[in-house]
Amino acid sequence: MIGRAAVISAIAVAAGCRDRASAGAGAGTSPSASTSPSTSTSTDATASPAPVGGDWIERVSLPDDGIAYVTPATGAIGKRPVIVAIHGAVDDPGLMCGAWRLIADVHAFVVCPAGTPIGADVPGRKYVWGSTAQIEKRALEAVAAVEAKYPEHVTRGAPVVYAAFSQGATMAAPLLVRNARRFPRAVLTEGGHHAFEPDGLAEQYAKAGGERVVFTCSQGGCAAAFEASRAALERADVRARVVYSGPHGHSMPPPVRESVHAALPFAVEGLAGWEGYAAAPKLPSH
């Protein structure tokens, strides 16, 4: 489960970054304008899109009464990449968005679809996934919703990073194979230990367009459980890495987010849309 207190305690940092970025954009000193190669190079100021504004997190509607949360790349002027972040079982998609907003330094749009709701519709409501097909459907719908909502800042059809925690990671491999061109990079946290062990699955992901997978975990002895999947991917020419963040339990507190953040450059290296990330401003903590 994503730790509510751990994420909420850090959201103010990202919100502050949002405010500084927005203020900088108004003064002509937006981080995205000065460091990102993807920023518009048009000499006609009237042709440039306005910096991304709005709330740090927003709720969007999906088909069939579905919902997702999105954390915009606040302050961005040019195009920015997208991360689709999938929650675990009995989890909060809003907190998943908060965690990945911090991990990615507010550089990308992070969209977090919700599974099947549990209990009353109240703040902090929990959700669970019923099947891989449900995750696949909602993930694709959520990305499409971001493309429609931010057409000036998101490239339609561009590759998307698939990030998932626990149940969302454990159930990911089949949908990644079916949508490898859309999700060529994946970060699987606290789940997916045996995802690519079935014969031929890693090869299928590679042939379909899969490129890199990062496995991360934070329980004692967990790293070894990923070895068979990592080795299968490497044999199939998909670069794979296992990251152990220390014994922090089945959650994403600050040390886990810092560990995932440190692995993000490997996950996105060479991926279209992420060219400006290495030089972009970074949050002081994640």
Tens digits of residue pLDDT in 37-89: 333 333 344 467 899 998 999 999 999 999 999 999 999 999 999 999 999 99
Tens digits of residue pLDDT in 168-180: 999 999 999 999 9
Please report whether residue 278 resides in a domain. no
Please report whether residue 105 resides in a domain. yes
C-beta pairs of 3-8 under 8 Å, 24+ apart in sequence: 3/95, 3/251, 3/252, 3/253, 4/92, 4/95, 4/124, 6/251, 6/252, 6/253, 6/254, 7/95, 7/98, 7/99, 7/102, 7/252, 8/95, 8/98
Contact (CB, 8 A) for 233 and 196? yes
CA-to-CA distance for 190 and 188, rounded, in angstroms? 7
Tens digits of residue pLDDT in 239-283: 999 999 999 999 999 999 999 999 999 999 999 999 999 999 999
Domain count, the chain: 1
Please report whether residue 279 resides in a domain. no
Please report whether residue 158 resides in a domain. yes
Buried b (16+ CB within 10 A) or exposed e, 172-202: bbbbbbbbbebbbbbbbbbbbbebbeeeebb
pLDDT band at 8 (very low <50, low <70, confident <90, very high): very low
Please report whether residue 274 resides in a domain. no
Integer CA distances (angstroms), 239 to 78, 214, 246, 279, in order: 29, 9, 23, 23
pLDDT of residue 211: 98
pLDDT band at 1 (very low <50, low <70, confident <90, very high): low
Please report whether residue 286 resides in a domain. no
Please report whether residue 157 resides in a domain. yes
pLDDT of residue 2: 64
CA-to-CA distance for 205 and 203, rounded, in angstroms? 5
Single pTM value for the model? 0.86
Domain that holds residue 209: 4-39+51-268
**CATH code: domain of residue 84:** 3.40.50.1820
Please report whether residue 45 resides in a domain. no
pLDDT of residue 35: 32
